A and B are shown apart, each in its own frame.
Chain A
């Protein structure tokens, strides 16, 4: 288990950038919280690639195969970065990085063990042959292009929930 302090800083910083971090204790608790935050979603995309995604209980009636049709994407993030409150998604293992971009709500499942304290730690461990696409997601999609007024939810999700397992 990662140092609780790193998890705490991650939660604090991701909340600062308008994501919604939720700490869950194990798979059962994760599925309870998932049930609540997915209650109003009509089309759920969850690729079931990783162990945590396989363990997530998704209502089969509302589950969709195409992320383009989804109102929410539930996916495991390979890493979190406490310094910036970011979650990391990559194209490794056949994952479509754009799946967490198109739906209005992105639910990231993040193992507490995969949270790095700093950007340096994360990038130092990356090696010289990174996956085709590495995306750091820091809060919801936003713009300030009109009179520098902050507007949430432009092309990407307006809601980012993070379940820290």
Chain B
């Protein structure tokens, strides 16, 4: 979301409010604990380090030549009957998608989870055109009827307790109250089944697109991704340009890393590889397939010093291990992407002048970088962006002094090593959390900065 100047994110107030919200704190504690457990179970007995090294190299290759992969993909997807649109801005994407739906006379649209459509605020735009948009991922459906935004990129309603969801369904869907996840899921299933069968069009995201075959790939568990890509006659895929894989033969690597890092599964229940529109005489697929490849600032990031954030495969592992995210949840970040990855991406996409308060949302403990399946150097990027914030004068004097000291020390290895203790003391959140809370946060890492980056 692009903000005007003077409308910067009020992260500190948001975080304070989140910390005072005991229901949220309980939900987040439960979520973080079970996420961490699942993920650590999932990487036992596999060559995780070797795979993440390979994946990191692969993603580096991709972001080194995004335009080349977009070109190759566009040629191959077009050959297979898809219509590929390369768009510069969020506004371009909103306008085009609205126009495609209008031109086809679509009124009822089913959607499967797509963070890029959250990034461009697509639903609001389509609703303003008089279209009816239904989110079909259970978590997205919950937050849609609650009138909220996702607080996690994989589990959008992670901040809600089962009682809250039960009351919400009871009120909005006029059903009996239940706080049993199985009953609630069944209620949603019944309503959404009808929507799938009668929808005029579908909008989905894609976890990646494949240059050498012109395919888009969706990892899903519920089956809504399969529904929206096979039932409605018109399907619009909305994804961003950096999500390329060079070859379909690279897919196994992503398949091994993404579900394990995201939910601790070996593989999601469904993996759909969609290549082109429905062929004459075939019984599967949309008759009209549009693929929107959105730039929205990414080309610029790819050419700059923080380009490695574009290696991200949006697994959510970094937020699941982040002590700040685990304490305050996703809404406090007031941006599409929360957590460590979100802080970096939002700062780059929205501009430091708008997003600089988000750079407080880190303890610089480095847990994120260690969890990342594609080795995005999250800790390094957070440090560098905070240095940039100091350079541009967007933070308080006290920290400026500390960061200036840090900068000087970092240039001199001896001083730097000696200064580790004080660097760790630059713990940005500590100043405004209650002493009780501070004690419960994991302390900044004792492993040194040098060791991490050498």
**Residues in chain A within 8 A of chain B (CB atoms):** 13, 16-17, 68, 84-86, 91, 94-98, 101, 118-120, 123-124, 126, 128-149, 151, 153-157
Offer 15 A-B interface pairs, CB within 8 angstroms, sorted by A. A86-B271, A91-B282, A94-B281, A97-B226, A119-B256, A129-B275, A132-B274, A132-B279, A141-B221, A144-B155, A146-B157, A148-B35, A148-B155, A155-B192, A155-B196
- Which residues 253-281 of B sit at the A interface, judged by CB distance below 8 A? 255-256, 263, 266-279, 281
Q: Are B213 and A138 in contact (CB under 8 A)?
A: no
Nearest 7 A-B pairs (CB), nearest first? A156-B223, A119-B252, A91-B284, A145-B139, A155-B223, A154-B222, A96-B283
Number of A-B contacts (CB under 8 A): 177
- Inter-subunit contact B251/A132 (CB<8 Å): no
Given A120, A133, A136, which contacts B230 in the complex, CB threshold below 8 Å? A133
Whether B266 pairs with A147 at a CB distance below 8 angstroms is no
Which A residues are in CB contact (< 8 Å) with B283? Answer: 91, 94-96
**Interchain CB contact under 8 A, B284 and A145:** no
Complex formed: what's the CA distance from A148 to B37 in Å? 12
Q: Which residues of A contact B231 (CB under 8 A)?
A: 98
Counting CB contacts under 8 A, is B239 at the interface?
no
Contacts of A153 on B, CB cut-off 8 Å?
A: 185, 189
| Shortest beta-carbon distance from A127 to chain B in Å | 9
Interface centre among B221, B251, B268 (most CB of A within 10 A): B221
Give chain A's interface secondary structure class. Answer: loop
Q: How far is the CA of A153 from the CA of B224 in the complex (A)?
A: 11
- Name the residue in B185, B189, B227 with the highest tally of chain A Cβ atoms < 10 Å from its Cβ: B185
Given A118-B252, A130-B273, A132-B275, CB of A154 within 8 Å of CB of B263: no
Closest residue of A by beta carbon distance from B197? A68
CB of B136 within 8 Å of the partner chain: yes
Instruction: Give A86 to B270 CA distance when docked, in angstroms.
Output: 9
Interface size class of B (residues with CB under 8 A): 35 or more
Q: Decide if B44 is an interface residue (CB 8 Å cutoff).
A: no
B251 with A145: CB separation less than 8 A: no
Query: Is residue B103 contacting chain A, with contact meaning CB distance below 8 A?
Result: no
- Mark out the residues of chain B between 203 and 228 whose CB falls within 8 Å of any chain A CB in the assembled complex: 212-213, 215, 221-224, 226-227
Contact pattern, B 146-167, Cβ under 8 Å of A = 1, otherwise 0: 0000000001111011100100
- Max chain A CB contacts within 10 Å: which of B139, B213, B227, B270? B270
Closest A residue to B226 by beta carbon equals A101
Q: How far is the CA of A138 from the CA of B271 in the complex (A)?
A: 8
Q: A residues within 8 A CB of B230?
A: 96-98, 101, 133
Asked whether any CB of chain A lies closer than 8 Å to the CB of B61, the reply is no
Max chain B Cβ within 10 angstroms of own Cβ: one of A68, A124, A140, A143 = A143
Cα distance A79–B49 when bound, in Å? 29
B3 interface hit (Cβ, 8 Å): no
Instruction: With A130-B215, A141-B269 given, name 11 new contacts (CB 8 A).
Output: A84-B255, A96-B283, A97-B226, A129-B213, A137-B270, A138-B267, A144-B221, A146-B162, A148-B34, A154-B189, A156-B269
How distant is B387 from chain A, measured CB to nearest CB, in Å? 36
- Check B248–A130 contact: CB distance below 8 A: yes
Is B19 an interface residue, CB under 8 A from the partner?
A: no
B142 in the interface (beta carbon within 8 A): yes
Q: B222 contacts A132, CB within 8 Å? A: no
Chain B residue numbers with a CB within 8 Å of A140 are 269
Instruction: Pick the contact of B224: A94, A119, A154, A157 (CB < 8 A).
Output: A154
A137 to B285 alpha-carbon distance, docked (Å): 17
Of A85, A136, A145, the residue contacting B157 (CB under 8 A) is A145
B248 CB contacts on chain A under 8 angstroms: 123, 126, 128, 130
Partner of B226, one of A13, A86, A118, A135: A135
Bound together, the chains give a CA A118 to CA B223 distance in angstroms of: 24
* C-alpha gap A68/B251 in the complex (Å): 31
When distances are taken between beta carbons in the complex, the residues of chain A under 8 Å from B278 are 132
* Interchain CB contact (< 8 A) of B269 among A123, A138, A148: A138
Is the CB of B50 closer than 8 A to any CB of chain A?
no
Contact, CB under 8 Å: A148 / B158 = yes
Residue of A nearest to B79 (CB): A129
Rounded to whole Å, the gap between the CB of B266 and the closest CB of chain A is 6
Knowing A144-B263, A145-B156, say if A139 contacts B284 (CB, 8 Å).
no
Q: Contacts of B20 on A, CB cut-off 8 Å?
A: none
Pair B226/A145 contact, Cβ less than 8 Å:
no
Among residues of A, the one whose C-beta sits closest to the C-beta of B212 is: A128
B302 at the interface (CB under 8 A from A): no
- Nearest-neighbor residue (CB-CB) of A67 within chain B: B283
B229 interface residue (CB < 8 Å to A): yes
User: Are A123's CB and B267's CB within 8 A?
Assistant: no
B17 sits at the interface (CB 8 A): no
- Please give, as numbers and ranges, the residues of chain A lying within 8 Å of B67 by CB-CB distance: none
